[in-house]
Amino acid sequence: MEMEWEYNGGMDTNTTPSSSAASRVYFRQTTASQRRFLFEKAEETGNIAEAARRAHVGRGTYYYWRPRYGAGGAAALDQKRSCAPHRTRIPPVNEALRQEVLDYHRAHPEEGYRSMANGINKIHGWQKVISHTKVGEIVREAEVVGEPVKLPSAPVEPEVAASPALVVSPQAPAVVHASQPNKTLNIDLCVVPLTHESTQVLESVSLSQAAAGAMPTKDETAPAVVEWPGQVFGDTSLSYEQQMAEYAQKRTAKRASKGQRKHRRRQKQAERAELRARSDELRLRRRRQRQARRLEDAAWRAAREARRAEEQQWRALSQAERRQQRAARQAQQQAWQQQKAARRVFQQARQAEDQAWRQERQRIRSTLAVLTNNAPLVTAWLAILVIVDNGTRRCIGLPLFTAGVQVTAEMVVAALRAIWPEGVQFVISDNGAQFIAEAFQQFTQEMAFLHVRIAPRRPRTNGIAERFVRTLKEWLEKRPWHTPEELFALLTEFIEYYNDRPHQGAELDGLSPNEYTRRLSINCSTC
């Protein structure tokens, strides 16, 4: 029989396929021997996924170590990967760089500190010459001493910029939408609670957040006006000495408050770590309990089979033999009744243990969700598929899924088939699991359209669908529902309301999506 090599605990052991499953050991951090085994199997089989499976690592481990392996061979795999964060030492800021920061801020008053730092580093050949925190310090110091940091009139042109190294970035290109109805569709999935009251906040929640059970809420206790110590210099009733003293006092108080927030943050981190440790312990105890139950169930099935064999033997006896073995038969019957009674007691005890385990798990998850998101736990969700026409902003449909966070690609494809308009050439979506699954890709090939997926962390590429989700949740927030049927009726009402109301889009110019679609259809038919 062919023998299969499997990775086990940092050593290559020759095991049979039947014993490989029981001898597998999984590691969070790879070892040198594990990495060598990974590349040996990759070269031997030519299949990276199979080599990663045998080495018990992800495919990303192979691609991470492949440059080192190609440069130094197997010896390079013995090098330990540093766990320390990679920090780039930034040189101190001189007067020329300080002036360049202020000039850049004058030319780009709408940009934040991080964008300004990226722009300046780009001017210097993407060398990190300054951080966004240092940019903020320079701008705030200039504002405190009264130095002008913004232009009083139009933005600075490239030829009159104060710094010769400053290059004003070109204007962002205009957003382009589809020129015809039903040519491009924007789709997205959003989730809402199973029940909702008009007094509750209905914030935006992703599928992953909903699966974790957290529902973000607005912080009603947050101060409406942001204060900072530099505001004291705007009080002309104080002398310069008084302003400086009060500024120093407020700055010291602010540092102290930051220290208190850091202490509270560390305390929350410790509490979360303790809860996760308890969750892991609960999971391990549950796994051991299930293993013990499997052994008990196997013993019970064996006893039941033996009982059936005894019944068959008893039926095969003659009347005379049954009279002779009647006493033994009664003893067996009594023993079997006792085993059945004990089994019922075990089943009741299991139900009590399961109930206690579920309550403990729910309590840990609820507490962890509150510490993580400062929000209550929501366990029942409904999913809504948003389908919006890119050119006319018309809502094509809002299919509702009672599966909630468990919605699958097959469900999404079935909903799209039911309301699929003719002539669709492009579909824009995010990288959700439902949109990158094989079922959706097959639907793409069948309907012959191009599936455009947004870049990571660039939701504005699918901005029409994202903005529609915001409008939908703002409208639903003031309307209660308690069943999926009630929510479905609200969605039907919203589609009519949304498609008939005036829009402020650049192309629509105050027209409703229905009216804009009608005019485009007339123009297309006459041309």
pLDDT band for position 439 (cuts 50, 70, 90): very high
Residue 90 lies inside a defined structural domain of this protein:
no
| Residues 344 and 386 occupy one common structural domain | no
Q: Compare 137 and 395 and report the one with higher pLDDT.
A: 395
Residue 170 lies inside a defined structural domain of this protein:
no
Q: Evaluate whether 512 touches 499 at the Cβ level (below 8 Å).
A: yes
**CA distance to 102, 132, 135, 239, 254, per residue, from 113 (Å):** 11, 5, 6, 31, 20
- pLDDT, position 497: 92
Supply the range of the domain harboring residue 129. 95-160
Residue 322 CA, chain-centre distance (Å), reads 70
Q: What is the largest CA-CA distance in the chain?
A: 121
- pLDDT, position 273: 84
| Residues 307 and 334 occupy one common structural domain | yes
pLDDT digits (tens, 9 = 90+) for 392-411: 999 999 999 998 888 999 99
- pLDDT, position 420: 93
- Rounded Cα distance between 436 and 452, Å, is 11
| Residues 332 and 460 occupy one common structural domain | no
Residue 103 lies inside a defined structural domain of this protein:
yes
pLDDT band for position 128 (cuts 50, 70, 90): confident
> Comparing C-alpha atoms, which of 9, 69, 17 is closest to residue 39?
69
Tokens of 135: 């940019």
pTM value? 0.44
| Residues 455 and 510 occupy one common structural domain | yes
pLDDT band for position 151 (cuts 50, 70, 90): very low
- pLDDT, position 455: 82
pLDDT band for position 59 (cuts 50, 70, 90): confident
pLDDT digits (tens, 9 = 90+) for 361-382: 888 887 777 666 544 445 688 9
Residue 209 lies inside a defined structural domain of this protein:
no
pLDDT band for position 155 (cuts 50, 70, 90): very low
- Rounded Cα distance between 475 and 493, Å, is 11
| Residues 257 and 308 occupy one common structural domain | yes
| Residues 434 and 515 occupy one common structural domain | yes
Residue 265 scores a pLDDT above 80: no
- pLDDT, position 224: 44
Residue 213 lies inside a defined structural domain of this protein:
no
Sign of CA dihedral 157, 163, 167, 168: negative
- pLDDT, position 386: 96
- pLDDT, position 196: 82
Alpha helices in 317-373 (DSSP H): 319-324, 326-373
- pLDDT, position 484: 92
Q: Compare 129 and 149 and report the one with higher pLDDT.
A: 129
pLDDT band for position 506 (cuts 50, 70, 90): low
Last residue of a domain, one of 160, 187, 214: 160
Q: Evaluate whether 157 touches 168 at the Cβ level (below 8 Å).
A: yes
- pLDDT, position 142: 80
pLDDT band for position 95 (cuts 50, 70, 90): confident
pLDDT band for position 524 (cuts 50, 70, 90): low
Residue 234 lies inside a defined structural domain of this protein:
yes
Q: Evaluate whether 97 touches 129 at the Cβ level (below 8 Å).
A: yes
Residue 21 scores a pLDDT above 70: no
| Residues 506 and 466 occupy one common structural domain | yes
pLDDT band for position 163 (cuts 50, 70, 90): very low
- Please compute the mean of the pLDDT values over residues 427-450 and round it to a whole number: 92
- Rounded Cα distance between 219 and 213, Å, is 19
- pLDDT, position 526: 61
pLDDT band for position 492 (cuts 50, 70, 90): very high
| Residues 348 and 424 occupy one common structural domain | no
- pLDDT, position 218: 46
Residue 168 lies inside a defined structural domain of this protein:
no
| Residues 388 and 255 occupy one common structural domain | no
| Residues 60 and 151 occupy one common structural domain | no
Domain count along the chain? 4
Return the CATH number at 440.
3.30.420.10
**CA distance to 177, 340, 367, 494, 518, per residue, from 522 (Å):** 19, 79, 58, 26, 6
Residue 174 lies inside a defined structural domain of this protein:
no
Q: Compare 426 and 204 and report the one with higher pLDDT.
A: 426
| Residues 239 and 131 occupy one common structural domain | no
Sign of CA dihedral 189, 190, 192, 198: negative
**CA distance to 253, 255, 474, per residue, from 258 (Å):** 9, 5, 34
- pLDDT, position 445: 93
pLDDT band for position 256 (cuts 50, 70, 90): low
- Rounded Cα distance between 434 and 225, Å, is 42
- Rounded Cα distance between 82 and 323, Å, is 81
Last residue of a domain, one of 325, 348, 374: 374
Residue 77 scores a pLDDT above 70: yes
pLDDT band for position 82 (cuts 50, 70, 90): low
- pLDDT, position 220: 44
| Residues 439 and 418 occupy one common structural domain | yes
pLDDT digits (tens, 9 = 90+) for 291-339: 999 999 999 999 999 999 989 988 888 988 888 888 888 998 999 999 9
Last residue of a domain, one of 348, 374, 400: 374
pLDDT band for position 274 (cuts 50, 70, 90): confident
Tokens of 382: 């409904």
- Rounded Cα distance between 202 and 478, Å, is 9
Calculate what percentage of the chain has a pLDDT beyond 70. 77
- Please compute the mean of the pLDDT values over residues 144-165 and round it to a whole number: 44
Average pLDDT, the chain: 79
